[in-house]
Structure 1
Amino acid sequence: MPPRRAISGRSQEPRQRLTEELRRLRLQKGDSLRQLGEALGWDWSLFGKMEKGQTLGSPEVAEALDHYYGTPGLLLALWELAAANPSQFKEQYRRYMALEAEAVSLWHYGVSILPGMLQTEGYAHEVLAASGTKGSELMQQVEARTGRRELLVGEDAPPFRTVLSEAVLCMSLADTEQWRTQLEDLIEAAERPNITVQVLPYGSGPHGLVSTDVMFLRLSDGRTVAYTENAYQGELIQETASVERLQQAYDAVRDLALSPVESRKFVMRMLEEVPCDPST
């Protein structure tokens, strides 16, 4: 029996279908993204990212949209299908990614690599390839990771602080031109008003996050959640006492770090040490 042919003209891939329905319903209602954000109480940029497929949002957002558009259960069902379907991000990241897109402020500590939101395409490609990702999956993961940079762009972008262990800046890429591009991009990012970059020098001594990458997200309802990660797995932490302990460790690390001004000078010195391409 030949396969059934789609007759609606709409995508049969869950994530793409969700983005199509979100845009169709909004335009049908005649709302701009800003008007939608004002009506539902979320930052309007979240809905733009959902319509572009950059984030799925959360089930709570899908339910609110269903109520607003008068489509009970439709968008939530599409959200669940998209979340269950293989996507750009691995399963353990999905809930975190939904919360990240809603965060009103973010702060981070990095042990050995830059946070995804500050990675250039060349940097992301080399780091992901080193972890064993290959072929089309590698290209998809690079696109997904660099797409997260959009979270920090625009007048409504949330404030973001990263404290980077000196080890992050000492682990250069094999491709020196790509490493130069990444350092230049990091310096430019540090000049943006919503981004703060600090460096924790080797001489700072042991601390509570010595082997832990962590990202904190402050959400619109006032809650703070944390996501810790190593090379093999990540964990979303929402329990208040556990988040508080991590925050205390983070505050101690931030106090040990160089100031933003001194950190920028530090990165610039690292950039000066990168060999130039002899062909240029």
Structure 2
Amino acid sequence: MSNSPRARALAAEVRKVRKDKGMSQGVLAEQLGWSIAKISRIETAQRGIGGPDLAAVLAALRVRGKRREQLLTMAEELGRPSWWEAMAGLSAHTRACIDAEQRASRLTELSLGYVPVLLQTRAYATAVCAASGAGTGEVDEQVNVRQVRQGILHKASPVALTAYLDESVLTRPVGGAAVMGGQLRHLLRSAEAPNIAVRVLPTNLGVHAGLGGPFTLIEFARGVATVLLESQECGLLLDDEERVAAFRESVDCLDRVALGTVESRAIIGGYATKFEDRSTRQLT
């Protein structure tokens, strides 16, 4: 299966292994008796690579042991549908996002509008999904998928997540005061986990490197990375190394100007109290 998220991931791994070994596409092609075009198509996921061909590539690159087995397993899994691929209601974009999350070792997300999906409460996620005009059944399904996606933060070897939140995210009363108060308390509890960091970009910064638009830097093992850009239910995954490098620079800029985790907890807690007080007044 070529050009699927998992096929692109395998292609990126093959390309990285070749480069790490210091071998050009031409030399690899000569050793295998293939054309350079075939190697190029494999490394860009324009052509799928099965187990026998991958084994030949790895032998030529002298890749052995655990690394060899990992890559061969990736090739075997290309034909096995995962839960997100089997769900008819998910868009191709959502499937690609979930696939990348499942394979990631680290996520760095910049959010300008909403609390990141992986940190949303069920009530908050319901309000966000309902705002699109979807029916009750569709909203429930979307929220259920979001809840399942959050499992990557709590598994035995959890994904590391750093979330940079523009302060405006904390002030928007999504779902009303009670829902927002609960969401902010959930943020605080989530940030207690060693693999989760929440950093606030305060309004008084004026301009910061993230105002060009939200993004998620998705990093995998051995330095491979991609960038997710999305709007509504459509989006784009960028794999080009130069473009990914530009977003890494943006993350470095955000790291320098965002509040630290302790200061961020204080500002999130302050807004949580305000929403909770507002909710109490509305009930009396």
- TM above 0.5, one fold? yes
Q: CA RMSD in A?
A: 2.7
- Mapping 1:238-277, distance limit 5 Å: 238-274=239-275, 275-277=278-280
Q: Does the C-alpha gap of structure 1 residues 230 and 208 become closer, same or farther in structure 2, counting only changes over 3 Å?
A: farther
Deviation digits for residues 163-208 of structure 1 (CA, Å, limit 9, x no counterpart): 1000110111243222111111000011111100100011112233
> How is 1:11-30 mapped onto 2 (pairs within 5 angstroms)?
none
The alpha-carbon distance between structure 1 residues 140 and 102, as it changes in their structure 2 partners (threshold 3 A), is same
Would you say the 8 A contact 2:94–2:233 is kept in 1? no
Tell me if the contact between 1:62 and 1:79 (Cα under 8 Å) persists in the aligned partners: no
Change (3 A) 1:80 1:128: closer
Q: What's the CA shift string for 1:134-190, capped at 9, x where partnerless? A: 221111001111221111014411211011000110111243222111111000011
By percentage of residues, which structure has more helix?
Answer: 2
Give the match for residue 173 of structure 1.
174
Gaps of 5+ in 2: 1-65
Alignment of 1:204 onto 2:205 = yes
Larger radius of gyration: 2
Whether 1:86 and 2:98 are equivalent positions in the alignment is no
Q: Return the TM-score normalized by structure 2.
A: 0.69
- Indicate whether 1:112 and 2:124 are aligned: no
Tell me if the contact between 1:207 and 1:249 (Cα under 8 Å) persists in the aligned partners: no
Per the alignment, do residues 182 and 231 of structure 1 end up closer, same or farther by CA in structure 2, a change over 3 Å counting? same
Structure 2 CA distance for partners of 1:156 and 1:83, relative to 1, 3 Å: closer
Counting aligned pairs with the same residue, the percent is: 25
Q: What is the aligned partner in structure 1 of residue 158 from structure 2?
A: 157
Instruction: For residues 18-61 of structure 1, give each alpha carbon's deviation from its aligned partner in whole angstroms, at most 9, with x where no partner exists.
Output: xxxxxxxxxxxxxxxxxxx999649xxxxxxxxxxxxxxxxx86
Amino acid at match of 1:209: G
Which residue number corresponds to residue 76 of structure 2? 64
Tell me by how many angstroms 1:235 deviates: 1.0
CA distance in 1, matches of 2:252, 2:153: 22
Equivalence for 1:140: 141
CA distance in 2, matches of 1:220, 1:151: 15
**Structure 1 spans left out of the alignment, 5+ residues:** 1-36, 43-59, 66-74
Q: Is the 8 A contact 1:106 1:160 kept in 2?
A: yes
Q: Would the aligned equivalents of 1:111 and 1:211 in 2 still touch at CA under 8 Å?
A: no
SS at match of 1:79: coil
Partners of 1:173 and 1:179 within 8 A in 2: yes
Once the two structures are overlaid, the 10-residue window that deviates more, 226-235 or 261-270, is: 226-235
Give the letter aligned to residue 79 of structure 1. P
Aligned to 1:210, the other structure's residue is in SS state helix
Q: Distance in 2 between matches of 1:269 and 1:80?
A: 41
| Amino acid across the alignment from 2:141 | Q
